[in-house]
Structure 1
Amino acid sequence: MFAIAGVVNYLAVVFLNAFTDLGHKIIIQNTIFKVYDGTIQIILTAIVNSLMLLPFILMFSPAGFLADRFAKNIIMKYSSLLAVVITLIITYSYYQGWFFTAFAMTFLLALQSAIYGPAKYGYIKELVGVKFISAGNGAVQATTTAAILLGIIFYTALFETLLQDNFSTKEDILHIIAPLGWLLVLGSVVEFVLASKLPNKMVEESKREFRFKRYIMGAYLKKNIIMIKRKKEIFDSIIALGLFWAISQVVLAIFGEYAKSALGITNAVVVQGIMALAVIGIVFGSIVAANFSKYYINTALSAISAAGITLILFCIPFTTSVILLSIEFMLFGLFSGLFIVPLNSKIQYLSPNVHLGTILAGNNFVQTLFMFTFLIITTLFAYFSADAQILFYIMTFVGLYLSVMLFRRYFIMASWTLLEFIFKIRYRFRYIGLQNIPKDRAVMLVGNHVSWIDWFVVQLPIEKRINYMIDKDIYNWRVFNWIFKKAELIPISKKASKDSFYEASKRLKNGKIIAIFPEGEISRSSDVAKFYRGYEFIDKGGSVIVPFYIDGVFGSIFSRHKGDAKRCFLKKREIVVCFGEPISEEIKANELRDRVINCKTKLKG
């Protein structure tokens, strides 16, 4: 992916945009932290966050229109130029000691980001294509969070170094830290220069016109909401992301006051440092999410990570140790990265290019609406002097709802993903010829059988669930029978196979993927055994046969032959699967066996 022209430049632009936006917000939040306490501190922090969110609600329709109407690199270029002007005004406000002017300028910075956002995320799909969409989102999320982390550390450290104890009012603080404003300006200027060099990837320019009257009357809003609700999986993903960001905003808004009142932490570096660990976690989580979405967008990661986030939220109010809090925030970030990347990738993947900007702006709109609502609730709780711990418990219940919602949709995929986590501890998987498996028609996979985990090895890189044919005696095992039924396996026996063949034929006609091991049992040697003719009686309809050969499992603890050579326990075993070219015509068992052996020869050669 990094060999694609413009990728590195684009990630640098993404980094600088987040770094600059975060810099001003940190300066304002640290000023609030130093001057105010208790209820006022929570309220002002919530207002700052609200000012950062409100433009994403107001600019839903215009931002989506601009990202669909014009080339996305051009939008990023002029948004960066606007950021230069805004940071110059912010710097002037610092020198004048105008706290509330600087406070209000967070709104204009957010306005620039609201215009910038849909173009930035829509550009991923245009720049790297569908093939690298998960890796692209992982890289963007890791880059953004790395910018946030470095911004927190960089601006907080400089803030504390310049400030020390030489202040009595918020105006004094701004006078002292005013030189930091020039760093914001510098970041914006460099971002503009780099954005000007991004390649234009727009395939077809839209001819639509923006009518201000329709915008004011809410016609665009109504139309765009209908658009984002058109595909249920897109809308569900947007709602899930909205709930997640709402939870995150509440945690960020209340943690400063919670740390000060419950734990006695008054140093801004310590407070921001603990929260910064969440950002480190997001970087690692984004990388892991991209790795587990190597073959397809693994949305099951979002369900698993939602459960992890809920558990962390429940534990935080019971934690009094700074070290344990740091670990919890690191894990919160890790699960957050695993949550965000697949859902963002899925939204981009399922969105038609002509409406991509509008749908991504809608994603921002819904997320912001959730965050804004939750921040109002946070402010009300603070106004009535409610304990911050209560808000942590409420967020735990929201996280529980989010987990249930996602597990209901992705339960089967989540089960496979958990297995993938386990198996990847000891095994490294590599696949050859995946392009030979058609995505738009039924497929019968036929290959060698060397271990008890062949079903997992073959399924791993294929998003569509495979319906395996399994020995009826094994299928009827009391403990596992309900799992086999849930996995839609097809039981087969030597005495009564007619019904099994009929069921397999029916599923092929419905576009399913069927897998069968014609050897009839797990092999006791590395040779491909005789293929039985049973599969020949399956009516294949319009399907194709794809032969495959599994190599690397033979001799493992899951095979019948354990091998003689001793292996280092810490060294991962590499498992390779080769998929041969699809066969559309009828083929005899011995000929198909030869095709599987050819796959073996290709691997060994």
Structure 2
Amino acid sequence: MPASEQNEKQGLESPGPERRHWISFWSLMGLQAQNAFNDKALQFTLVPLGAWVAAMVGAQWGATLPHLLGMLILLPFILFAPLAGWASDSFSKTRVIRLAAWMQLVVFVVVLSSFRMEFLPLAVACFFFLAVQSTILSPAKNGIIKELLGSSRLGFASGIMQMFTILAILAGQILIGIWFSSRLEATGSGWSAGLFPMILVSLGAVVTLVMAYMIQVVPAPARKPFRLSLAVSHFHQLRQLLNSRPLRLSALGIAYFWAFGALVQFITLQIAGERYPDGHPNFGRATSYMMLAASGGIGVGSILGALINKRHIELGLNPLGGIIMTVSSLLIVLAQPESWFFYVALAIAGLGAAFFFVPINAFLQDECDPDQRGNILAGSALLNCLGMAGAVVLQLTMLKLGLSPAEQFLLLALVSVVATCYVMRLLPRAFIKMLAFSALRAFYRIETIHPKRMPEKGGVLLTPNHVSYLDALILTAASPRPVRFLMVSDYFEKPVVGKVAKLFDTVPISSKRAKDAIQVAAAAVEEGNVVCIFPEGELSRSGFMGEFKRGMELIARKADCLIQPVYLDGLWKSIFSAERGKFFWKK
């Protein structure tokens, strides 16, 4: 365990990961990217290859092969997720990752043999075993991040991993699809078109193995005994996940992200198949361009999400992502397939999906008990698979019912409306705070000096100077921890002010009973909150610090807590200050 995570557990200031931990993290990112690239490269070689083989033999199964592949990639997660979680919780996650890298190399050797023999069932079977390898890798690669970087950088690491994964998926889908189409046009043979790309992908599996051995070996947790009951323990893991409301809601949101992505993928494959039927060479190219738009949007959204979540997990990004997903689905309904508007709408859908996913994925990992992280993540992976399997069945059903792609996207928009409304009910405070602080940062460049002086845990009494009416917002935006402010309880009865005060978790105090006010404020600090009180008791009329009132001292003594002085600079002379005795209207 790195020193950063040890300090976080003890509530101490974290010095940050060491250089060797960063090397391990970036090696993990490279391994994850290469693994995702190889998975998608094989899948999007088999999809157009299957359409071509089906057309050659006069069969109709080419249109449903993508659904078969979609279920094959999910089946190992459903069957073997308990074993993967047990291995991640019982052995060093680094060694589990290395085992998965060796498995991938062996699978691709067999893939090359199937292409040489021109035997599609064997290639499809290899795709299943590649999914088994990904199942073993998943909880280990996700669980090791916190052990390498600590909790404070989980939001950043989650966004970076998502970015690497999406960019790799994007490259695998786009490059292989276009390459396959070009070689099919040149050779006229689907097997010849797919063989050389598979040779290069197999070489990529060797690179993955090298990166696996660059990851630092983390210590193994207390080994758990292997029991036959593990075969059905994924139901217990899922129940363990669902018993905690924060983990349950996060996991359901993540599952919806993957189901949304699966539906978009299969609907776009249907669009490509309708426009270029019977194994047409442009089928692979068309699917690649559509996935380029959607995956590119997810990649950009993941980068932005990582930056927004760099200092702390910003859950307000989640409902914003849901809104974008809803609007973009409606735009796709209005768009002509393969038009520039269609591709832009797909990209916006991907952007919104990434915004929806990044913060709740980081939150889920951060909330896990370290000793049960593998089980929780395996349970989440199972839920994701069930969501995607439901999406595969739903899209296949809509295809058999004769629903057009536009009608399917309309249904997807309606589901997104319901999901977004529910998320808005759960996270109204986080969403409004994010919008308010985004608007604030558009006009003010907020710089926090020595943010690490704020303890990561425990009650703190924040004592800033009071220069402007924006001080509370500035402090909330600048603080690495949520801040609760004191407000006279009379204001809570006002319609607008009261709702805003409750939304921002303001502490109500009595203006008439001073002792009760001190007691309430001290209790809020003792609960482990960061409570802010302006010691001057009023707005500065000169720009200088005024005389401190006794309230701060009494609260600090009552709570026996740390007092954290804060100085706000650069706000004097703003329209929200009392400079020249005027507010707002200044010349």
After TM superposition, the score normalised by the length of structure 2 is 0.86
Aligned residue in 2 for 1:236 = 249
* Residue type of the alignment partner of 2:24: G
**In the alignment, is residue 115 of structure 1 matched against residue 156 of structure 2?**
no
Q: Is the 8 A contact 2:178 2:284 kept in 1?
A: no
Structure 2 unmatched runs, 5+ = 1-16, 582-587
Aligned to 1:548: 566
The answer on whether the counterparts of 1:96 and 1:175 sit within 8 Å (CA) in structure 2 is no
Q: Equivalents in 2 of 1:61, 1:78: separation in Å?
A: 17
Pairs within 5 Å for 1:428-507: 428-462=445-479, 465-470=482-487, 479-489=496-506, 500-507=517-524
1:323 pairs with 340, 357, 360, which one? 340
Shift of residue 514 of structure 1?
A: 2.5
CA distance in 2, matches of 1:366, 1:472: 44
**Residue-by-residue CA offset, 1:394-420 (whole Å, 9 max, x unaligned):** 222322232233222221111111112
Residues 254-301 of structure 1, C-alpha deviations (whole Å, 9 max, x = no match): 112235548999553243223212222222222222222233222222
Task: Give the counterpart of 2:535 among 510, 513, 518.
Answer: 518
Shift of 1:470: 4.1
Question: How far does the alpha carbon of each residue in 1:290-328 deviate from its partner, in whole angstroms, 9 at most, with x for none?
Answer: 222233222222222122112212221111262112211
Closer, same or farther in 2 for the Cα pair 1:537/1:479, shift >3 Å? same
Is residue 554–residue 562 contact of structure 1 (8 Å, CA) maintained in 2?
no
Q: Shift in Å at residue 451 of structure 1?
A: 2.1
State the distance in 2 between where 1:35 and 1:555 align.
74
The change in CA–CA distance for 1:236 and 1:117 in structure 2 (over 3 A counts) is: same
SS of aligned partner of 2:218: coil
For 2:283 and 2:142, the matched residues in 1 are separated by 36
Task: Determine if contact 2:509/2:521 at 8 Å carries over to the other structure.
Answer: no
- In the alignment, what sits opposite 2:288? 272
- In percent, how many aligned pairs have the same letter? 25
Structure 1 Cα separation of the partners of residues 221 and 514 of structure 2: 57
Q: Which has the higher mean CA deviation after the structures are superposed, 409-418 or 471-480?
A: 471-480
Q: Which amino acid aligns with 1:237?
A: S
Instruction: Write out per-residue CA displacement over residues 102-134 of structure 1, whole angstroms, 9 at most, x where no aligned residue.
Output: 223211111110111111111111111112211
Q: Which residue in 2 is equivalent to 1:408?
A: 425
* 1:215 equivalenced with 2:230 (yes/no): yes
Deviation at 1:381, TM superposition (A): 2.3
* Counterpart AA for 1:254: I
Matched, 1:378 2:398: no
- Native 8 Å contact 2:465 2:534 kept in 1: yes
Once the two structures are TM-superposed, the CA of residue 135 in structure 1 deviates from its matched residue by 1.4
Map of 1:69 onto structure 2: 90
Secondary structure in 2 matching 1:374: helix
Match of 1:357 in 2: 374
Please give the per-residue CA displacement for 1:23-63, whole angstroms capped at 9, x wherever unaligned: 10111123345567998555221111111111111111110
Range with bigger deviation, 387-396 or 351-360:
387-396
Q: How far apart, CA to CA, are the structure 2 residues paired with 1:482 and 1:542?
A: 31
Letter in 2 for 1:277: A
Counterpart position of 1:574: none
Q: 1:74-473, aligned counterparts within 5 Å?
A: 74-164=95-185, 166-167=187-188, 172-202=189-219, 204-211=220-227, 213-216=228-231, 218=232, 220-259=233-272, 261=274, 267-320=283-336, 322-462=339-479, 465-470=482-487
For each residue in 1:319-367, what CA deviation from the matched residue of structure 2 results, as whole angstroms up to 9, or x when unmatched? 1262112211222222222222222211221212222222111111110
**What amino acid does structure 2 have at the position aligned with 1:26?**
F
Could you tell me how far 1:101 is from its partner in structure 2? 2.4
Distance 1:88 1:361, change over 3 A: same
Q: Shift in Å at residue 384 of structure 1?
A: 3.0
Tell me whether 1:59 sits opposite 2:80 in the alignment.
Answer: yes
Q: Which moved more, 1:66-75 or 1:519-528?
A: 519-528
Q: Distance in 2 between matches of 1:345 and 1:490?
A: 28
Partners in 2 of 1:35 and 1:394 — Cα distance? 33
In the alignment, residue 20 of structure 1 is paired with which amino acid? N
CA distance in 1, matches of 2:245, 2:526: 26
Asked whether the 8 Å contact 1:42–1:379 carries over to 2, the reply is no
Counterpart Cα distance in 1 of 2:69 and 2:106: 20
Give the deviation of 1:495 after TM superposition: 7.4
Hey, what's the Cα distance between the residues in 1 that align with 2:378 and 2:512? 59
Separation (CA, whole Å) in 2 of partners of 1:365 and 1:24: 23
The 8 Å contact of residues 175 and 288 in structure 2, kept in 1 or not, is answered as no
Question: C-alpha distance in 1, partners of 2:382/2:357?
Answer: 16
1:145 & 1:425 partners in 2: Cα distance?
A: 29
How far did 1:427 drift?
A: 3.1
DSSP 3-state at the match of 1:445: strand
- Which residue number corresponds to residue 586 of structure 1? none
- Inter-partner Cα distance in structure 2 for 1:541 and 1:223: 42
State how far apart, in whole Å, the 1-side matches of 2:565 and 2:445 are: 22
Which has the larger share of helix? 2
The one-letter amino acid paired with 2:42 is H
8 Å CA contact 1:447–1:516 kept in 2: the answer is yes
Checking the alignment, whether the CA contact within 8 Å between 1:137 and 1:341 is kept in structure 2 is: yes
Change (3 A) 1:355 1:522: same
Q: Which deviates further from its counterpart, 551-560 or 92-101?
A: 551-560
Bigger drift between 231-240 and 553-562 goes to 553-562
Q: Corresponding residue for 1:572? A: none
Contact 2:454 2:480 in 1 (8 A): no
Matched letter for residue 28 of structure 2: Y
* CA apart distance, 1:376: 1.4
Post-superposition shift, 1:450? Answer: 1.9
- 2:10 corresponds in structure 1 to none
Letter in 2 for 1:66: A
RMSD between superposed Cα atoms in Å: 3.0
Q: Distance in 1 between matches of 2:396 and 2:385?
A: 16
Cα distance, 1:454 vs structure 2: 1.3
In 2, Cα distance between the equivalents of 1:326 and 1:560?
51
1:16 to 2:34 alignment = yes
Distance 2:200 2:580 in 1: 62
Quick one: distance in 1 between partners of 2:308 and 2:183? 44
The 1-side partners of 2:108 and 2:24 are apart by 26
Match of 2:12 in 1: none
Inter-CA distance 199–486: structure 2 relative to 1 (3 Å threshold): closer
